[in-house]
């Protein structure tokens, strides 16, 4: 049985192909059309999944779509009724999008050559299935949270075996995702993409605006919440920043204006209020479900700081956060939900995120020929790469299958020496070309994690922040956040043998089993897909060394080690 899961027409479009209940391939469309967070139909991603799995489009048995149009219609009717006439613009826009959804989906599938029947899966059920059915738990509580699905923004549920059920939900316009995104907009960043910047900025601030932000998010006695809608306009289709919000927090920041202390403090306060809300929900869910383990998904759970707070709270014995928690991951969940509904067995627990198409040696050679780069064939690229890193050079690293999700995990990465404090500014300014406050993550040998961080791991997906041991912080300053934590990635020799060997060689040269690891892309661009994108990115930055498969490329001015 071949099931193709899809997310499309919102943001973070993706395709996930399951063969007999196991993931054969997954890809995000932004890596093909080069539009970050694209909502386009994932034609390129579908084609790559079919090619990687070696199957024809006509072999797909079912298509699972991550949204139910009928529930979208019910939400539009409710918003129109409850907020009329102010909701007229949002209702008209939403109605037009809804009317076009199914025709656009059918046209996209036809272009891809797929004629299989389509199952429409409720959005938060897809998130919940992606969390529980890929977890290592036989039974668990399930918490999902994002901006909105069809109507739900937050759900509380439970999973057992292959059964996933949702017991309680919080409905749009009340939403933790929209709370965070509206303040993201106030801070001068773009919603549905800039939230990670706000999380990074929060580490520099003091939460002195918590009383003001608590006025936006009102807790209920049962642990749920509601927004004070006088401060919000997202449900009305109007500009995001309301006059009451501007009076409460002050004038919004222009995207090109300097960041001030108050902006950092608002970000820190927003982070604190989000964490309070998640802890209340988690406490409520533990009480009603009775389950000692928790699974989480939805865009809110890309926030590694709040994930750490939830994990360390002691409310649950164990917490699994699905690492592709945004809407791309709902493509996984939609396919899993359909597979389970048809009586299929649970897949193996998620073990790695290199689920995309593999880099071929021919592709690498084609991209490098005529690039103007000096190219050398490497039998083992980890040897020269480790020497360059130990000397303080920044390198591009493109190896194996493409990752899915927003984090680079050693397949499409920019790597540097974490011992050098100046690396943070150098990589931000000269390579990534992004804001100077943006942090970087450490990739550490899994077996050495407890020697450098205050939790033993494993943390394979950069989805939680972990305190760096106090006696180690000065040794790896380029990857330590302002608050002494790091969004750590543990690298296991079994699942990532090449990346593990590279870090091991770096350790042999420096005594430090840690590398600075960040996604291979420029500010505002998606992560590179393969060799061609990597070469293009390299030529537009100060990056001087690139390892693609078994090839080492360097700019003519870059000396060999």
pTM: 0.96
Which of 309, 341, 373 corresponds to the end of one domain?
341
pLDDT of residue 220: 96
CB atoms within 10 A of CB 240: 17
281 and 337, same domain (yes or no): no
Cα separation, 286 vs 295, in Å, equals: 12
Distances (CA, A) of 12 to 9, 195, 500: 9, 14, 30
Pairing mode, strands 293-297 and 412-416:
unpaired
pLDDT of residue 430: 86
Look up 11 and say whether it is catalytic: yes
256 and 317, same domain (yes or no): yes
* Cross-strand pairs, 227: 217
Residue 346 lies in a domain: no
71 and 91, same domain (yes or no): yes
Q: Is 494 exposed, middle or buried (0-12, 13-18, 19+ CB in 10 A)?
A: exposed
331 and 291, same domain (yes or no): no
381 and 488, same domain (yes or no): yes
Residue 93 lies in a domain: yes
What's the chain's Rg over C-alpha atoms?
23
Determine if the peptide bond prior to 173 is cis (ω within 30°): yes
Coil, helix or strand for 150?
coil
* Token pair belonging to 62: 């079912």
Residue 196, domain CATH: 3.30.420.40
369 and 461, same domain (yes or no): yes
397 contacts 531 by C-beta, under 8 angstroms: no
- Say which residue the tokens 């103007």 belong to: 372
517 contacts 441 by C-beta, under 8 angstroms: yes
pLDDT of residue 421: 94
Residue 120 lies in a domain: yes
pLDDT of residue 392: 96
pLDDT of residue 556: 87
The tally of domains found in the chain comes to 3
25 and 43, same domain (yes or no): yes
Residue 412: give the domain boundaries.
361-554
Residue 435, domain CATH: 3.90.870.20
117 and 192, same domain (yes or no): no
Residue 494 lies in a domain: yes
* Token pair belonging to 406: 């927003």
- Say which residue the tokens 């956060």 belong to: 321
414 contacts 431 by C-beta, under 8 angstroms: yes
List of the chain residues with pLDDT < 70: 558-561
Sequence-separated (6 or more) residues with CB below 8 Å from residue 256? 188
253 contacts 261 by C-beta, under 8 angstroms: no
Coil, helix or strand for 315?
coil
Residue 154 lies in a domain: no
303 and 391, same domain (yes or no): no
282 and 380, same domain (yes or no): no
Cα separation, 5 vs 18, in Å, equals: 8
Residue 352 lies in a domain: no
Taken as a whole, the chain contains a residue count of 561
Q: Which of 467, 281, 468, 489 is nearest to 405 (CA)?
A: 489
Cα separation, 91 vs 83, in Å, equals: 10
Cα separation, 444 vs 398, in Å, equals: 18
307 and 337, same domain (yes or no): no
Which of 276, 309, 341 corresponds to the end of one domain?
341
Residue 492 lies in a domain: yes
* Token pair belonging to 287: 């009480």
Q: Which of 131, 142, 124, 463 is nearest to 303 (CA)?
A: 463
Ramachandran area for residue 352 (φ above 0: left; ψ -120 to 50: alpha; else beta): beta
pLDDT of residue 260: 97
pLDDT of residue 560: 57
Which of 313, 341, 369 corresponds to the end of one domain?
341
335 and 317, same domain (yes or no): no
* Cross-strand pairs, 396: 414, 546
Q: Which of 178, 39, 27, 184 is nearest to 100 (CA)?
A: 39
Residue 540 lies in a domain: yes
């Amino acid at each position: 049985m071949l099931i193709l899961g899809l997310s499309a027409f919102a943001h973070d479009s993706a395709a996930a192909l399951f063969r007999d209940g196991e993931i054969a391939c997954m890809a995000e469309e932004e890596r093909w059309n080069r539009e970050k967070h694209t909502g386009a139909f994932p034609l390129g991603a579908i084609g790559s999944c079919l090619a990687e799995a070696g199957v024809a489009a006509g072999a797909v048995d079912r298509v699972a779509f991550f949204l139910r149009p009928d529930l979208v219609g019910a939400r539009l009717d409710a918003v129109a009724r409850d907020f009329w006439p102010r909701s007229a613009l949002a209702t008209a826009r939403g109605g037009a999008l809804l009317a076009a959804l199914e025709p656009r989906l059918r046209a996209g599938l036809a272009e891809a050559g797929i004629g299989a029947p389509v199952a429409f899966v409720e959005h938060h059920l897809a998130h919940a299935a992606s969390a529980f059915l890929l977890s290592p738990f036989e039974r668990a509580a399930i918490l999902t949270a994002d901006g909105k699905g069809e109507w739900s923004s937050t759900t509380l549920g439970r999973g057992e075996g292959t059964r996933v059920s949702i017991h309680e939900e919080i409905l749009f316009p009340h939403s933790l995702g929209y709370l965070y995104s509206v303040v993201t907009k106030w801070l001068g960043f773009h919603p549905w993409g800039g939230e990670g910047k706000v999380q990074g900025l929060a580490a520099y601030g003091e939460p002195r605006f918590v009383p003001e932000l608590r006025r936006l998010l009102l807790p209920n006695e049962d642990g749920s919440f509601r927004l004070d809608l006088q401060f919000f306009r997202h449900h009305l289709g109007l500009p995001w920043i309301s006059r009451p919000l501007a009076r409460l927090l002050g004038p919004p920041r222009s995207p090109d204006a300097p960041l001030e202390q108050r902006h950092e403090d608002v970000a820190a306060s927003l982070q604190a209020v989000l964490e309070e809300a998640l802890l209340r929900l988690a406490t409520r869910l533990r009480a009603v479900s009775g389950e000692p383990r928790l699974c989480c998904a939805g865009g809110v759970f890309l926030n590694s700081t709040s994930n750490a707070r939830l994990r360390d709270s002691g409310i649950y014995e164990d917490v699994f956060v699905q690492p592709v928690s945004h809407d791309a991951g709902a493509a996984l969940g939609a396919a899993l939900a359909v597979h389970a509904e048809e009586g299929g067995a649970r897949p193996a627990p998620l073990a790695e995120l290199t689920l995309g198409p593999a880099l071929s040696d021919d592709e690498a050679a084609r991209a490098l020929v005529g690039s103007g780069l000096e190219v050398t064939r490497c039998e083992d690229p980890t040897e020269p790469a480790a020497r360059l890193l130990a000397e303080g050079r920044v390198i591009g690293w493109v190896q194996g299958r493409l990752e899915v999700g927003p984090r680079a995990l050693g397949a499409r990465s920019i790597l540097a020496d974490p011992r050098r404090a100046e690396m943070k500014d150098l990589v931000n300014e000269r390579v990534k070309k992004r804001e100077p406050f943006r942090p970087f993550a450490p990739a550490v040998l899994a077996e050495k994690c407890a020697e450098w961080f205050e939790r033993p791991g494993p943390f394979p997906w950069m989805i939680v922040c972990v305190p760096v041991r106090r006696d180690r912080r000065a040794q790896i300053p380029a990857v330590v956040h302002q608050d002494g934590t790091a969004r750590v990635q543990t690298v296991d020799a079994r699942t990532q043998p090449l990346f593990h060997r590279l870090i091991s060689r770096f350790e042999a040269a420096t005594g430090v089993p840690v590398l600075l690891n960040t996604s291979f892309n420029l500010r505002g661009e998606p992560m590179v897909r393969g060799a061609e994108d990597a070469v293009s990115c390299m030529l537009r930055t100060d990056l001087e060394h690139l390892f693609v498969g078994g090839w080492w490329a360097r700019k003519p001015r870059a000396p060999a080690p």
